[in-house]
Amino acid sequence: MPGQPVIEIENLYHTYMKGTPMEHTALKGTSMVVNEGECIAIIGHTGSGKSTLIQHFNGLIRPISGKVIIDGVDLSKKRIDIKALRRKVGLVFQNPEDQIFEKLIGDDIAYGPFKLGLPLKEVRERVKWAMDMVGLNFEEMKDRQTFALSGGQKRKVALAGILALQPKILVLDEPTAGLDPRSRNEVLDKIKFLNKMENLTVIFVSHNMEEVAYLADRVYVMANGSDVLSGTPEEIFTDKEKLQRYQIGTPETVQALYRLKDLGYNVDTAAFTISEAANEIIKVLANGEGENHG
């Protein structure tokens, strides 16, 4: 069960290059609450302010106007312990290449824990644990060169590097973009495990509605710099009017069910998984409910 709020965003504004002709307001009064242990998806059309918002979570961007409270710490205060904040909130960016700079995989994942001044033995244990969490074999992979890795493996290394810091809150920007179907499922399962079994609070930005449906307890929809809608995946994906108004995509399964529904078939569009969606089709065909149509 979700606990206390660990992230509270209130009426947050952010303007890039203020006072120049290129001034651009990316956040226009966003509010959001994330409770401990929750898994939250942030979705929204390109340019809706998602990336700007999540960079506030670990202090990469400081609030200009509005409130950002992370685990009780108000980030609008002038003096904050930014190191402690970064330790608490791990951010994994979209492009894993940007986060990998050591020659060997093990060294790269160990970099953060070393910087924390942990003893060698504990660093090693954390690296091993983190690699295990993302499905990289410690003995086999720790001395491999990072540059020769594929996109999916780099993603896993970048994720392990953040996990090795043992953050309380994990923030992921498009965690599976560019991964093949199996690597994708592996990374999703690991995130789910960390969230449910290790009680890590997870916030992820995604355009992939399959993974939103699979992972998220709640979803925030962003549009034009503010949060316009929130709810469980069921609530979001069954609200057709809002899906259209905010141009929110749905999983492929739901997309097909909506088309059937439009044709007069009595299907439940809250069926996300392949088997649920297939069962909806079986149900209407078996009951002969297709008679309604045509």
Partner 1 sequence: MEPIIALEDVSFTYKINEDSSVPVLKNVSFSIYPGEYVAIIGHNGSGKSTLSKHFNGLLTPSSGDVWVQGHNTKDESKKLDIRKTVGMVFQHPDNQIVATIVEEDVAFGLENIGVPRAEMKHRIDEALEVVKMSEFRKRPPHHLSGGQKQRVAIAGVLAMQPDCIVFDESTSMLDTFGRNEVLQAIRKMNKMGMTIITVTHRMSEAAEAGRIIVVEDGKIVMDGNPREIFKHKQVLMDLQLDVPAVSQMADIVHSQIPMFSKELIQEDELINEVNRVSKARSGEMV
The residues of the shown chain that bind partner 1, judged by CB under 8 A, are 16-17, 22, 24, 26, 43-48, 50-51, 94-95, 145, 148-153, 174, 177-184, 207, 209-210, 247-253, 255-256, 259-260, 263, 265, 274-275, 277-279, 281-282, 284-286, 288, 290-291, 293-294
Q: 94 with 173: CB under 8 angstroms?
A: yes
Give CA–CA dist 91/98, Å, rounded.
Answer: 12
Nearer to partner 1, 51 or 166 (CB): 51
Q: Which is nearer to partner 1, 35 or 266 (CB)?
A: 266
Distance CA 281, CA 266 (A): 9
Q: CB nearer to partner 1: give 6 or 149.
A: 149
Q: How far is the CB of 126 from partner 1 (least distance, A)?
A: 25
Q: Smallest distance, Å, CB 22 to partner 1?
A: 6
| Closest CB 11 distance from partner 1, rounded Å | 22
For residues 56 and 88, which CB has a smaller minimum distance to partner 1 in the complex?
56
Please return the burial class of 199, using the count of CB atoms within 10 Å of its CB with bins 0-12, 13-18 and 19+. exposed
Q: Report in angstroms how near the CB of residue 24 gets to partner 1 at its nearest.
A: 5
Element (H, E) at 43: strand 39-44
Dist. CA 114–CA 121, nearest whole Å? 11
Answer whether 131's CB lies under 8 Å from 137's CB: yes
